[in-house]
């Protein structure tokens, strides 16, 4: 187990932006993929449906950016199919209180286990938990699960077409494009070997530990949500899913980054949302969509700050957003961070210390 970093290093990480290579094409595509559905929805008088479609675009925004055609299609296809399924199932159970909470905990446990196979599986598994929670929240609203699924799929189709279409264009303009149809040279993805290693890990406690940490934290989050008044307490479980990490030592700093970033996002984004016209909301969503892939790698605090107003706008489905809702976001985030630390990190850290 990794030792935690010194406090001064954690503090520096909150404000430091990592140097990473910027893919301008990907940033532009990400912004268009999020802005286009909401722009169409606003223009046709169906803003809520446009915002639901943005959820679909957001769900597969990280897919299909690496490798040859086969790897990209597998990435996009798996992300879209599993994402659509979990959103639909979440919307189906969303109205059923305790059943929804049990389903969210079950998905969290299964996703945490399957995510141990490899990088792609880990990303899809993490998205499955997040969008199960969001789907359950959307299911409480007036729209049917089928209606929600339809617009989520449309949003995914827009994002996938932009990503794969741009790759096709770049390959067509490259004199080497014919050599990359089946992917870059090198060994094939050792999926079978990864599965064998994962199954071997499940014979030890270490292979189950992350799933147990996440599901216990999620269960506590759901219990707290049931006793906390308000229609937006799903944000507690959402926060838990983001701060209880597979890398146990990274959970504390992620909780601080999430809490601080959400507070900043409410203070800054809340004011903007309250005064921007519809076209301004479209521009804001596009701008957030463009910068989020960079911020997620460069500075998670800034990433959380921009994602808070975005997710708030998407989940309120075009309704007026009050400061009371935004304050509730901050409080629920802090509760989720506290649960993540007190249930998903501290007891396990103490137990591990005693073992050693």
- Please answer whether residues 322 and 67 qualify as being in contact, where contact means their C-beta atoms are separated by less than 8 angstroms: no
pLDDT of residue 309: 75
What SS3 class is residue 175?
coil
> What is the per-residue pLDDT across 31-60, written as a single tens digit (0 to 9) for each?
998 899 989 988 888 888 888 999 999 899
| Contact yes or no for 56/86 (Cβ under 8 A) | no
What is the pLDDT, as a whole number, of residue 248?
78
pLDDT of residue 281: 80
Distance of alpha carbon 288 from alpha carbon 61, whole angstroms: 13
Mind listing the pLDDT tens digit for each residue in 242-263?
889 888 777 788 888 888 888 8
Kindly report, residue by residue over 88-120, the tens digit of the pLDDT: 999 999 888 889 999 999 999 999 999 999 888
| pLDDT beyond 70 at 6 | no
pTM: 0.85
Q: Which residue has the higher pLDDT, 277 or 110?
A: 110
Q: What is the pLDDT of residue 153?
A: 95
pLDDT digits (tens, 9 = 90+) for 130-182: 999 999 988 888 889 999 999 999 999 999 999 888 888 777 766 544 444 44
| pLDDT tens for each residue of 184-232 | 444 455 778 888 888 888 888 888 999 999 999 999 999 998 888 765 6
Which tokens belong to 135? 């789907």
At 187 the pLDDT is 44
* Nearest CA among 253, 228, 189 for reference residue 13: 253
Classify the phi-psi angles of 153: left when phi > 0, otherwise alpha if psi is within -120 to 50, otherwise beta.
Answer: alpha
Question: pLDDT value at position 135?
Answer: 92
User: So what's the pLDDT on residue 303?
Assistant: 84
DSSP symbols for 102-153 = HHHHHHHHHHHHHTTS-HHHHHHHHHHHHHHHHHHHHTTSSS-HHHHHHHHH
Q: pLDDT tens digits, residue range 280-335?
A: 888 888 888 888 888 888 888 888 888 877 777 776 655 556 677 777 888 888 99
Distance CA 57, CA 72 (A): 16
Residues of the chain with pLDDT > 90, as a percent, come to 31
Residue with the two structure tokens 């599965």: 195
pLDDT of residue 271: 66
Q: What is the pLDDT of residue 186?
A: 44
Cα 185 from Cα 257, distance rounded (Å): 39
Q: How many CA atoms lie within 13 A of 326 on its CB side?
A: 23
Q: Which residue blocks in 233-345 are alpha helix, DSSP H? A: 234-243, 251-275, 278-298, 300-316, 323-344
The pLDDT score that the predictor gives to residue 96 is 87
Query: In this structure, are residues 50 and 39 in contact, taking their beta carbons and an 8 Å threshold?
Result: yes
Examine the pLDDT at 343 and tell me if it is beyond 90: yes
């Amino acid at each position: 187990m990794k030792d935690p970093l010194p406090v001064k290093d954690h503090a520096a990480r909150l404000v430091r932006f990592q140097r990473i290579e910027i893919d301008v094409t990907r940033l532009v595509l990400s912004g268009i993929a999020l802005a286009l559905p909401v722009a169409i929805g606003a223009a046709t008088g169906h803003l809520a449906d446009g915002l639901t479609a943005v959820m679909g675009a957001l769900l597969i925004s990280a897919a299909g950016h690496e490798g040859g055609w086969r790897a990209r299609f597998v990435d996009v296809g798996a992300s879209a199919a599993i994402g659509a399924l979990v959103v639909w199932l979440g919307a189906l159970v969303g109205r059923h209180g305790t059943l929804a909470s049990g389903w969210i905990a079950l998905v969290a446990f299964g996703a945490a286990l399957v995510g141990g196979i490899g990088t792609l599986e880990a990303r899809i598994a993490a998205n499955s938990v997040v969008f199960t929670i969001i789907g359950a929240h959307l299911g409480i609203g007036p729209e049917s699960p089928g209606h929600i699924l339809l617009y989520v799929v449309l949003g995914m189709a827009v994002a996938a077409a932009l990503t794969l279409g741009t790759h096709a264009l770049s390959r067509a303009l490259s004199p080497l494009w014919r050599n990359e149809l089946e992917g870059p040279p090198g060994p094939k993805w050792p999926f079978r070997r990864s599965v064998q290693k994962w199954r071997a890990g499940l014979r030890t406690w270490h292979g189950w530990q992350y799933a147990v940490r996440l599901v216990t934290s999620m269960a506590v989050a759901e219990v707290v949500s049931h006793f906390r008044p308000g229609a937006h307490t799903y944000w507690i479980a959402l926060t838990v899913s983001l701060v209880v990490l597979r890398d146990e030592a990274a959970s504390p700093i992620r909780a601080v980054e999430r809490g601080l970033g959400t507070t900043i996002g409410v203070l800054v984004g809340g004011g903007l949302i309250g005064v921007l016209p519809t076209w301004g909301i479209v521009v804001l969503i596009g701008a957030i969509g463009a910068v989020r892939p960079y911020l997620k790698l460069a500075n998670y605090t800034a990433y959380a700050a921009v994602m808070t107003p975005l997710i708030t706008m998407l989940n309120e489905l075009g309704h007026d957003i009050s400061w009371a809702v935004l304050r509730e976001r901050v409080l629920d985030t802090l509760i989720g961070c506290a649960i993540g630390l007190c249930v998903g990190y501290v007891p396990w850290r103490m137990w591990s210390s005693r073992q050693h």
